[in-house]
Amino acid sequence: MHVKTREEHLCFLQDMVKLKLWFVAKWKYENPQESVSEIINIRTLILNYTEFNSEGINTDISQKDKPDGWVQLVDELSDLYRTMKPKGDYEKYEQAAFTLVAPTLHSRVERDLDLFNTVYLSEDSRQGSCFFFVDEADHSPEASYLAQHFGDGGTFMRCHQWNSRYPQSYLTDPDFFRNSLIKLIDDTEACGAIGIYGTGWMNLFPVFSRQFPPEWRNNAIGPIYDIKGNLGCWGQFISADYTFQHKMGARYRRTHIIPFPSTLCFAKATEFRSFFQSQGKNNGTRKI
């Protein structure tokens, strides 16, 4: 198994930050009413990749207080944009802005590698690829702030995916992913919900979406081009082994259109079970 090196991870951080700084200039030019600081803090995950993030690289810290050093850096990036006035020359701003951000990337490389090579490869992290959040003290669907209602009523739980086959993709093992989905459906019904939903770029990615019943795609809401700073958007530029997806990045730069915009899809548990049964795999009951 290939173990990611320090140099590889630093290149990943650099390539992701460069693309996001390019995006900041592009979004600001197309949406002049938004401030540079708003775009950086709301629409990118740049903070996560810097020394100012004291938590994991994928931890949602959007609602937490920003460290003073990060606030100062964002102010400098905002001042740079006002001084340069790059307009449509997004690369010009990207290159100048990167010189400000680059020094903040190095110190978190070892911390991230420790996370990848221990937690991501641990037995607990490799048990399944699908889950949802429910308050442990109250196993009801309404205990999750991510519960939603669609169609003719009933509660749907939000499905999250975790690459529990790092550094390979969990989609390379369809049986494993299907069993993970079946367990999720079992858990969904056990807590009183009638189905699951998911939001993100992967709903338009054929290798992923064909693992779900047709209703999942037929019920699609979107695509949504309102870019937000989460992996539901930016994850398409990250390979399974957590290296930069150069092909996707180049495509975005060339077309100026996000390759796979975020889309919301949902389906009922009964539709999942019928789908699995129609495939002749099993009757939709968990088999591990």
The burial of 51, by beta-carbon neighbours within 10 Å (0-12 exposed, 13-18 middle, 19 or more buried), is given as middle
Q: Quick one: tokens of 250?
A: 């180049």
Buried b (16+ CB within 10 A) or exposed e, 78-106: bebbeeeebeeebeebbebbbeebeebbe
The more confident residue out of 17 and 55 is 17
Query: What pLDDT does 139 receive?
Result: 46
Q: Higher confidence at residue 126 or residue 49?
A: 49
| CA dist., res. 51 & res. 105, Å (int) | 6
- The reported pLDDT for the residue numbered 143 is 45
pLDDT per residue as tens digits for the range 177-209:
888 888 889 888 888 889 999 999 999 999 899
Q: Do residues 242 and 166 make contact, with C-beta atoms less than 8 angstroms apart?
A: yes
At 197, give phi and psi (nearest 5°). -135, 165
Kindly indicate the confidence band of residue 274, based on its pLDDT and cuts at 50, 70 and 90. Answer: very high
Of 7, 81, 94, nearest to 46 by C-alpha is 94
User: Is pLDDT of 174 > 60?
Assistant: yes
Amino acid at 236: Q
Q: Say how far apart CA 37 and CA 56 lie, in whole Å.
A: 22
Give the confidence band of 138 by pLDDT, cuts at 50, 70, 90: very low
144 and 158 Cβ atoms separated by less than 8 Å: yes
d(CA 120, CA 112): 10
For residue 119, what is the DSSP state?
Answer: I
Q: Tell me, what's the pLDDT at 118?
A: 76
Neighbours of 215 (CB within 10 A): 18
Residue 286: what pLDDT?
A: 46
Sequence spans of domains, the chain: 6-118, 125-225+261-278
Please name the residue ranges forming H helices in 155-213.
174-190, 206-209
**Cβ atoms of residues 74 and 40 within 8 Å:** yes
Whole-model pTM above 0.85? yes
Give 31-53 pLDDT, tens digit per residue: 999 999 999 999 998 999 999 99
Question: Using H for helix, E for strand and C for coil, what is the string for 18-39?
Answer: HHHHHHHHHHHHHCCCCCHHHH
What does the pLDDT read at residue 167? 77
Task: Say what angle helices 68-84 and 36-43 make with each other, to 10 degrees.
Answer: 130
Bridge partner list, 281: none
CA-nearest of 202, 205, 208 to 232 is 202
205-240 pLDDT, tens digit each? 998 999 999 999 999 999 999 999 999 999 999 998
Residues 76-105 pLDDT 10s: 999 999 999 998 999 999 999 999 999 999
pLDDT band at 1 (very low <50, low <70, confident <90, very high): low
